[in-house]
Amino acid sequence: MFYLVSSKFFLYLCNGYLRNPKYFIYYFIYIKTIKKMKMRSLLLFFACIFATSASAQSAFLGEWITIDDETGKQKSVVKIYQADNGLYYGQIVHLFGNSKSLCVECSGEDYNQPILGLTIVRDMQSKNGELRGGKVLDPNNGKFYYGKMYLKDGKLILRGSLDKAGLLGRSQTWIRK
């Protein structure tokens, strides 16, 4: 672009237009207008990129109704949130059924804790429109699995697997509340 502007400047100079102060001022107004247009288009481009990435991340946030993959019935409501450290977590905020049940199969700090309020999705990171890299707790057997979450047709697919690649595991479909 600079070459194009410089060549116009050279042509104006050779033709004698720049000897007249009026044309000289018009030329510099033209250059400033081009610079403003370039800056505005650049800002617009980055604003669009930022808005796209922000909306992709916030699509996971909120409350999701979990569906049991064996019976097809609603089990609970899980709230997905982003913590201050930038990682994503999921906490059970409502149970369909016995709300006083305990996680007797869990180990460590989760042992014998109420399932209502239990954090079952932990340390997920946003990568390429997915949440991955964290762990998922199955309160039925108390085991942690490698987790991956993605959106498909407005539904959230949670994949828990024994291996990081996600080959050995199962998926659940969650519906937005």
Task: Kindly report, residue by residue over 89-142, the tens digit of the pLDDT.
Answer: 999 999 998 778 898 998 889 999 999 999 999 999 988 889 999 999 998 899
Domain boundary among 18, 37, 57: 57
Domain identity same for 157 and 110: yes
82 pLDDT higher than 90: yes
Q: Which domain holds residue 95?
A: 59-176
The per-residue pLDDT for 1 is: 45
Specify whether 84 is located in the same domain as 165: yes
Shared domain for 66 and 11, answered yes or no, is no
Domain boundary among 39, 57, 75: 57
* 3-state DSSP assignment of residue 69: coil
CATH number reported for the structural domain that contains residue 69 in this entry: 2.40.128.520
Domains in the chain: how many in total?
A: 2
Cα(11)–Cα(17) distance, integer angstroms: 9
Residues 65 and 89 in one domain: yes
Which of 32-46, 86-100, 144-158, 160-174 comes out lowest in average pLDDT? Answer: 32-46
pLDDT digits (tens, 9 = 90+) for 9-50: 555 555 555 555 555 566 666 666 666 666 666 566 666 555
Phi, psi of 148 (to 5 degrees): -150, 135
| The predicted structure's pLDDT at residue 29 | 65
| 64-89 average pLDDT score | 91
Q: Are residues 125 and 45 in the same domain?
A: no
Predicted structure pTM score: 0.66
Residues 18 and 79 in one domain: no
